[in-house]
Structure formats: structure tokens, C-alpha cells
Amino acid sequence: MMRLRRHRALRLALRARNGERRTATVTDRRMMRTALRLAQKAADEGEVPVGAVVYRGDGDDAEILAEAHNTREARRDPAGHAEITVIAAAAKRIGDWRLTECTLVVTLEPCIMCAGAIVNARLGRLVYGAHDPKAGAVASLYRLCEDQRLNHRITPIGGLMARHASAQLKAFFRERRRVRKQERQAERS
Ligand SMILES: [Zn+2]
């Protein structure tokens, strides 16, 4: 027991020395505000409000490589999730499919498809807002980004400005239900 505890302390110390952070940085917060704006843009276009940013560097040196929002309806594309679009755009921008030096910031917990893309792009960091109990694949239903069997692992940082992202999603679905109800009533009369 004692040895186990010492082991854990050592591991934590090592992690601290390696600079691995499990909390969001000031830059992450700034990027999340941008992602939330992109999510709102999606909602305004009738898409489920999800926004994403890929950036590299930190503080004043931080550089946004790509921004995207959900475009599933407009493009009639099941892969039109913000994360897929933003990863492809960032890779194109730097001319490398490996995004090891980059951070992906997204307003909602990624699904299985997007978590797969995140692992395959070898993303350095992942920060997300609201948890998704129905489809989330990095903490809620699965922990794909931390699966020891895969050759790349990322420790996600979840829940950043989650209340804002959930409020956006709730407002969107409430409005959509209201419109659909109205349409049904119009059909009947
Ligand atoms: Zn997805």
C-alpha cells in the first residue's frame, strides 16, 4: 500500500516535470470563446451548435490554424462535424497530417468518429466544453483518446465553459422542437 502510494506520488511528480497539464490554460479559454462563437454561427444556420478551433503555440504566440463549425445539414454530410472539418483544414494549412504540436478546442465532447480522427491526427491536446452523455467518446460512453491499445494517446481536458455550450445546445433544440410543433399544427389545420 505504502509502496503504491509512493509510486503514485512519483508518477505525479514526473508528470509535473514533463509539463503535462490537465487543466485548461488561459489560451484554451480564449480559443473556447472563439469556438463558442462558431457554434452560435452554426445554430444561426440551422445546424446543431458545435464549433471547433485548432491552434498551436501558447499565450501571445498562439496561432489559430483553422476554425470550423458543424455543417452536416448544409453539406448533407454525415462526416460534417466541426472536428473533422477543422482537423482537415489545419493539416492542409501546415502541410502535414500529424498535428502533434497542436491543440483542438471544441464546444462539445467528440463522438466516436471525431475521437477516431483526433487519434489518427496525433493531436497533441484536446480541450472540450459540454459533456455528451448520449454520444461522447472521450469520457462519457468511451475513452477512445486514452485507450492503451491504440498507438497514440491524449488526455482530454473536459468541461471548459461547459455551461455556455450546453445552454447553446439546449436553446437550439428547444427552438427546433417549437418550430416542428408549429409545422405539425399547421399541417393539421
Ligand atoms: Zn463528431
Q: Across residues 7-16, what is the average pLDDT?
A: 54
Q: What's the gap in Å between 136 CA and the centre of ligand 1?
A: 9
pLDDT band at 6 (very low <50, low <70, confident <90, very high): low
- Higher pLDDT: 173 or 14? It is 173
What's the rounded mean pLDDT across residues 87-96?
98
C-alpha dihedral sign at 130, 136, 142, 147? negative
Cα(142) to centroid(ligand 1), Å: 13
Cα 23 from Cα 15, distance rounded (Å) = 13
Interval between CA 50 and ligand 1 midpoint (Å): 9
CB atoms within 5 A of ion ligand 1 belong to 81, 111, 113-114
Euclidean distance between CA atoms 144 and 135, whole angstroms = 12
Dihedral angle sign, alpha carbons of residues 168, 120, 90, 27? positive
Distance between Cα 124 and ligand 1 center (Å)? 18
| CA separation for the pair 161, 128 (Å, rounded) | 9
Query: Which of the 8 DSSP states describes residue 143?
Result: -
Show which residues are catalytic.
Answer: 83
* Residue reference for cell 445539414: 73
Dist. CA 9 → ligand 1 center (Å) = 36
Ligand 1 centroid – CA 99 distance (Å): 18
- Sign of the alpha-carbon torsion through 8, 151, 116, 68: positive
- What was the pLDDT predicted at 9? 60
Residue 14: the pLDDT is: 47
Mean pLDDT score of the chain:
92
Per-residue model confidence (pLDDT) at position 189: 82
Q: How many CA atoms lie within 13 A of 53 on its CB side?
A: 22
Pairing relation of β-strands 63-69 and 51-56?
antiparallel
Q: Tell me the CA–centroid distance for residue 111 and ligand 1, in Å.
A: 4
